[in-house]
Amino acid sequence: MTQEIYFHFAISLLITYIIARLILTSILRLITEAGYVRPNFRGDQIPVGVGLLFFLSALIPTGVLIFLDEDTYQLGGLLYLFVLGSMTLLGMTDDIFGSRADSGLKGHLKKMLRGELTTGGLKLVTGGIMSLVVAVNISNHWLEVITNTLVIALSVNAINLLDLRPGRAGKGYLLAVGMLLLASWPANHLVWGVITAGALLAYLPSDLKARAMMGDTGSNALGASIGITSVLVLPENLKIGYLLFLIAFHIFTEKYSLTKVIERNKMLNFLDQLGRN
């Protein structure tokens, strides 16, 4: 059984990585030619929303897994694609139509309370509904519904909060997947985090070199992948612990600049700079 899981994980990672490498250049060209570019933190105009790559690269390996073992992977695979696709679409909406004037949960909530809908507010509401729909379908009681809903929704926004410097969101995602593997191995549904990691590994060099920006399209997709994988594989006590961490992280980032905190810590700054030009 363990050998079969190793095989499924390895083939999924490999297929996703190869697909992402093959289509990355075309995605970059399509986005650039369409004019969807934005200045990065250095002021260079680079394509934004390249995180579309994560969802596109996940379609075939997810289908292959369901074909290989329908009983094990069908429900999880369909939920994974639903969550990943939903947040990719909502993130792309934010990248294309969104304004940078309002940011953070507090800013979008204030606008909504005044009757003004922002793309961030739309993402907040729709993403919350999506998280609830998924939670209702995988939970056994109302308390678990609440926990799973919050874990998915806050995971999405947590990766988004990291996406302020090249490579930071990707590194955060890989760290989260590594921790999930340690906490839940050999759970079959860990494969959804591995699939997304395959696409991310193909894309990450472009992000680290500040040649492309995953945008909310990508950061929301990464967060969605962590969220759905977490609720499917974590035991209840670890899931609640993870939820408490997410809540604390959001409160912290509303009060303090994450970038400044990282810059002041030698180890965090070293990791943050690792791989950049």
Q: Where are the domains of the chain?
A: 2-273
pLDDT number for residue 15: 96
- Cis, peptide link before residue 186, omega less than 30° from 0: yes
pLDDT of residue 104: 59
**CA angle, corner 268, sides to 50 and 274, nearest 5?**
50
The pTM of this model reads: 0.93
Cβ burial of 223 (10 Å; 0-12, 13-18, 19+) is buried
Give pLDDT, residue 276. Answer: 80
| pLDDT means over runs of 10, the chain (277 residues) | 84 96 96 89 86 97 94 95 96 83 60 71 88 93 95 95 91 96 93 98 94 94 97 95 96 90 91 84
Cα-flanking dihedrals φ and ψ of residue 169, to 5°?
Answer: -65, -40
Q: Which pLDDT value is given to residue 64?
A: 94
pLDDT at 121: 80
Q: What's the pLDDT score for residue 99?
A: 64
Rounded alpha-carbon distances, angstroms, from residue 13 to 6, 79, 87: 11, 19, 21
